[in-house]
Amino acid sequence: MGGDEVKLLGAWPSPYVLRARIALNIKSVDYEFLEEKFGSKSDLLLKSNPVHKKIPVLIHGDRPICESLIIVEYIDQVWPSGPSLLPSDPYDRAIARFWAAYADQWFSSAIVVLYEDDGEKAAAAVEEAKKGLSLFDEALVKCSKGQNFFGGDRMGYLDIALGSLLSWIKVIQILRNVSLIDESTTPNLFRWAPRFAADHAVKDVFPDIHKHLEFAKFLVARTKAQP
Amino acid sequence: MGGDEVKLLGAWPSPYVLRARIALNIKSVDYEFLEEKFGSKSDLLLKSNPVHKKIPVLIHGDRPICESLIIVEYIDQVWPSGPSLLPSDPYDRAIARFWAAYADQWFSSAIVVLYEDDGEKAAAAVEEAKKGLSLFDEALVKCSKGQNFFGGDRMGYLDIALGSLLSWIKVIQILRNVSLIDESTTPNLFRWAPRFAADHAVKDVFPDIHKHLEFAKFLVARTKAQP
């Protein structure tokens, strides 16, 4: 009955699915990636996450685990032999969790920039998004303690939580011709972002920008076509 | 600076503040409760939680920790000598975190019932709220493994996360004359709720129902008076 097999229900453009993939890669866990088709939900997904019916779902043996940040914490605890994802110090851990939760909140506001047609509203959403990113920029200085990642000398929980959004941030920047992360306003994030994308646990699962742009255009068109 | 002193910035009607108080009580941690005045924010709050400017904030020594569920996890890790709040098994832990996150989501929808004047919309909100509670009722059976609490034989993280909402649930039931938790639809929650409220870690900090009803009436009137 499933044993210790690991499966991940997901889809490549989902930043939340990306979190689970990166965490599994950091821990060198072999897993089967079961791609959900866009616009439909598999029986396995409906059975595994009956409350939210959303990806990602990690299935370990025959037990489903839902919600991306909870999955990352689960992976960290179940495979302790790999590099730790969460800081060991309780205060550092609370701070990482705080900013990870804020990353989710930030993204659900920032994605509005992609869809907003009203020029004034779009400009306001960009300003809000930039304000949030400058908070992350400061947080990076504090959390990294002068090293390369939020997690210090290597990628950790908060790197995964925020870094998983980078491809979408790039897509918004290109399609809406705005600057969100740049050298002048978020210098630390600006240096961190390419380090994140180039990390060995990330580079093979990070969305290709051309493919991602096409997907985003399709999504925006589809959303606007809906009544 | 501050040593190991524990302070909690809060207000008695906040279910999120209640979570921190219960967790501190379970761990027998002495703390100073700094009550925020309704409608204003102290300088200490603004300094301690500049991102959200919200209670609760736990201040341990001179370090602030924000967000109720993060505070509960912090308390669990920093005072390990008291009873554990989170399950030790990674899967049980993920499940507890899943339902705790759902409790927050559930409450932000359910509170609509208190304010909604449109009869049809109010009825729909009640139905949604009841559906959510029946999920918690099933979760209680699974998580408790036949014992008294979500945490098993004693209160744990998920008891705190959901139980903190019980006083507001009661207020909604009374003021809107609806039944949310009852013997027929949520028999397990129905038996669990008074156990929770009577627990020695809860009973002294659980809001008095008369005081809570007055506060809720004031809040509804104030919200409706706003343009």
Sole residue written with tokens 């703390």: B31
- Contact between chains at B67 and A97 (C-beta distance less than 8 A): yes
What does the pLDDT read at residue B41?
Answer: 97
Burial class (CB within 10 angstroms; exposed 0-12, middle 13-18, buried 19+) of A91: middle
Mean pLDDT value across residues B120-128:
95
Residue B23: φ, ψ to 5°: -60, -45
pLDDT for A226: 83
Interface of B with A (CB under 8 A): 51, 60, 63, 65-67, 70-71, 73-74, 77-78, 90-91, 93-94, 97-98, 101-102, 135
Mention every residue, 6+ apart, whose C-beta is less than 8 A from residue B118: none
User: What is the C-alpha separation between A156 and A26, in angstroms, rounded?
Assistant: 9
Question: Given A70, A78, A94, which is nearest B98 (Cβ)?
Answer: A70
Give CA–CA dist B96/B78, Å, rounded: 19
Distances (CA, A) of B212 to B14, B34, B63, B112: 10, 19, 31, 17
pLDDT at A156 (0 to 100): 98
Mutation site for A-interface testing, chosen from B53, B63, B77 by largest number of A Cβ within 10 Å: B77
What's the predicted TM-score (pTM) here?
A: 0.96
- Chain A residue at shortest CA distance from B73: A94
Within 8 A of A102 by CB-CB distance, chain B residues are 51
Which stretches of chain A score pLDDT less than 50? 1-2
Give residue A96's pLDDT: 98
**β-pairing verdict for B6-10 and B32-35:** parallel
pLDDT of residue A193: 98
Cβ distance A94 to B101 less than 8 Å, yes or no, reads no
- Rounded Cα distance between A181 and A188, Å, is 9
B43-76 pLDDT tens trace: 999 999 999 999 999 999 999 999 999 999 999 9
What does the pLDDT read at residue A64? 98
Q: Answer yes or no: do B93 and A73 touch at CB < 8 A.
A: yes
- Chain B residues close to A158, C-beta within 8 Å: none
Yes or no: say if A36 and A14 are a contact pair by the CB < 8 Å rule. Answer: no
**CA distances from residue B59 to A142, B6, B8, B79 in whole angstroms, order as listed:** 18, 6, 6, 15
**DSSP letter at B10?**
E
CB A9 within 8 A of CB A36: yes
Residue of A nearest to B135 (CA): A51
Angle (deg, nearest 10), helices B15-26 and B68-78: 10
Percentage, residues of chain B above pLDDT 70 = 99
- Min Cα–Cα distance to chain A from B2, Å: 15
- Interchain pair B78, A98: CB under 8 A: no
Does residue B2 have a pLDDT over 70? no
Q: What pLDDT sits at residue B170?
A: 98
Residue of chain A minimizing CA distance to B101 = A67
**Smallest CA–CA distance from A138 into chain B, residue:** B51
Residue B121 in this model has a pLDDT that exceeds 70:
yes
Nearest to A97 among B70, B90, B93 (CB): B70
**B63 to chain A: closest CA residue:** A91
* pLDDT confidence of residue B29: 97
pLDDT of residue A82: 86
Tokens of B192: 């669990």
**Residues 6+ away with beta carbon under 8 Å from A104:** A69, A161
Average pLDDT rounded to a whole number, residues B25-41? 96
Whether the pLDDT of residue B1 is over 50: the answer is no
Q: Is the pLDDT of residue B227 over 90?
A: no
Instruction: Tell me how crowded residue B124 is: count the other CB atoms within 10 A of its CB.
Output: 14
Average pLDDT (B201-206) is 97
The answer to whether B65 contacts A94, with C-beta atoms less than 8 Å apart, is: yes
